[in-house]
Amino acid sequence: MEKEYEKIAKFLSPEEFSWVIMNFFSHKELASFMERMGFNYSGARTTTIPRSKLSLDLACEAIKDKEVAKVLIKKFESINYLELEEIGSLKESEIGSYLKENAREFYLERKIGKIVWALLADVRQEINNEIPKFIEGIEELADEAERSQIAREVEKEVVEKRDRKWFKGALEKLKRKNKLIDESNKFLVKENKKFKQRANTFHKKNKELEKKLAFINQQKGILNKSIQRKDEQIKKLEEENKVMGEELKSHPARMLKSSLHHLGKETEKLSYELEKEREQNAKKLLELKREVSFLTTQVVERNQKVEVLRQSLEEADKRGLNLELELKEKRAKEDTHLQVYPHKGERVGIFVDVQNIYYSAKRLFNKKADYNKLLSYLVGKRHLVKAICYIVQTPELSQESFINMLKKIGYTVRTRDLIRRADGSAKGNWDIGMAVDILYMIEKNSLDIVVLVTCDGDFTDLVKVLKSKGIKTEVAGFPKITALDLKRFSDEFILIEEDLML
């Protein structure tokens, strides 16, 4: 410890020694250590004194007082064993280049004090002699960092002044947009309420029809039982007739003739009544069958309408929920400054209508698009902010491997399930979703250039809106099948040719 104490005074100024101390102690640890060593500041707690002043006071005292220095040296040796081993393992010929090559890393990792102490504690004089050169290099790094910080602050102030007016206008636009979203949300809530009322009405009518159908089925059962009873009566009469015929064989002819005449009249009467009742029952049964068929058709139609309404309600609920989420997100960011991105003027966003591109490539070239080549081709030397692929998924076809491939290339992938209605029709597109994403990124001042990868003319209105906001809009599509208005209103039309296919 005697040698280390002598080296402190020889190689380090109080300010340089204070660097070493600050590397070994946090503010709280330094204040606690100095209180134990008997330091005090009248009228103030040690923890309220700045760390730089505490370390400088302790450095000055340690240089003057050997006992204070010994306590510090012991503390350093217990903590600094890694750096001591690292420096101790180097040869004298290696130490200069090692310190020079790693100076910036030591500075950024705040290890300067520990390295200085490891150099000081080494028994080799050549190693000790490297301390002044090392400290001089670190001071140059500190000056360079300070100059860079000043330059960044000046640049930041210039950018803030330049964009302050733009920020104000952008915030006003965002407020107007939020107001429109509020109004849309209110409208959707009202429509949702109407849909629910209509659905309840359909449910009530459906229940009434089901009750009526059950009553008709009950009446049908009663009629069937009545017909069955009549059939049993006829069978019984036939049996009685047979018995009477056998009995009459033993009676005189006159009695037999009279009985047969009477029996014939009774039989005719009963047959007439039975036929008449059968005709009436047949008419009633036919009417019941027609009514059952009509009611069954109505029930099926009602059920189909209820299913269509249910799906419409689900779609309305989803749209309302999406609008609420967007509204909350935008309101949360309304009072914050919008981020200023680097590469201003060359920041590009790419938005791909995957279904449209798939069918267009298949129709024109009978091939699939190479999304890796397409991304490189569209970005060029510009700065890519984001590339998003919009996919509509069908339950019958798994697109998981395709989606994973897109993500690996660098695309963000957004998916939506295909909605099948009860009437057999289907719905699934990303027109509104793409427009919301693009307008939101523009409101954040994230983009200078928008590239729409589609042949669909439905995006023409979006292109017009983007141009009105001063955003350069490029459309990438296939020859012959890209909508004319889409090409005419865009700032630039980029042709997707066969060399961009797989």
Tokens of 53: 């002043």
Domain boundaries, the chain: 2-128, 190-334, 347-500
Residues 418-450 pLDDT 10s:
877 666 556 678 988 999 999 999 988 889 999
Burial of residue 202 (number of CB atoms within 10 Å: 0-12, 13-18, 19+): middle
Write down the pLDDT at residue 2. 65
Please check whether residue 285 is in contact with residue 220, taking contact to mean a CB–CB distance below 8 angstroms.
yes
The confidence score (pLDDT) of residue 382 equals: 95
Model pLDDT, residue 157: 64
Q: Report how far apart, in Å, the C-alpha atoms of 164 and of each of 150, 332, 337, 347 are.
A: 21, 20, 10, 20
| Calpha distance 497→484 (Å, rounded) | 17
Bigger pLDDT: 94 vs 145: 94
pLDDT band at 336 (very low <50, low <70, confident <90, very high): very low
Task: Grade residue 309 by pLDDT with cuts at 50, 70 and 90.
Answer: low
Report the half-sphere exposure of 51 (CA within 13 A, side-chain side).
12
- 8 A C-beta contact, residue 334 and residue 174: yes
Query: Which of 425, 426, 428 lies closest to 414 in space, CA to CA?
Result: 428
Q: Which CATH number fits domain 347-500: 1.10.520.10, 3.40.190.10, 3.30.930.10, 3.40.50.1010?
A: 3.40.50.1010
Whether residue 117 contacts residue 80, with contact meaning beta carbons closer than 8 Å, is answered with yes
Ordered DSSP codes for 270-285? HHHHHHHHHHHHHHHH
- Alpha-carbon gap, residue 451 to 459, rounded angstroms: 12
> Could you tell me the two tokens for 185?
């949300």
Q: Return the pLDDT at 37.
A: 84
Cβ-in-10-Å burial (0-12, 13-18, 19+) of 19 comes to: buried
**What whole-number percentage of the chain has pLDDT above 90?**
27
pLDDT digits (tens, 9 = 90+) for 43-102: 788 889 998 999 999 889 888 888 888 888 888 877 777 887 888 888 888 988 888 888
The crossing angle, in degrees rounded to 10, of helices 66-79 and 2-11 is 100
pLDDT score of 384 more than 90: yes
Q: Record the pTM.
A: 0.37
Longest alpha-carbon distance in the chain: 164
Q: Quote the mean pLDDT of the chain.
A: 82
Q: Are 291 and 216 in contact (CB under 8 A)?
A: yes
The one-letter amino acid code at 145 reads: A
Rounded mean pLDDT of 346-375? 96
What is the pLDDT averaged over residues 219-248?
79
What DSSP assignment string belongs to 217-238?
A: HHHHHHHHHHHHHHHHHHHHHH
Question: In this structure, which long-range contacts are made by residues 399-408, counting pairs with CB atoms below 8 Å and at least 24 apart in sequence?
Answer: 405/371, 406/371
Here the tokens at position 336 are: 């914050």
Query: Which is more confidently placed, 146 or 355?
Result: 355
SS3 state at 164: helix
Question: What is the mean predicted confidence (pLDDT) over 344-372?
Answer: 94
The CB density around residue 61, as the number of other CB atoms within 10 Å, is 18
Q: What are the E-state strand segments in 148-305?
A: none
419-420 and 412-417 strand pairing: unpaired
Mean pLDDT of 172-176: 80
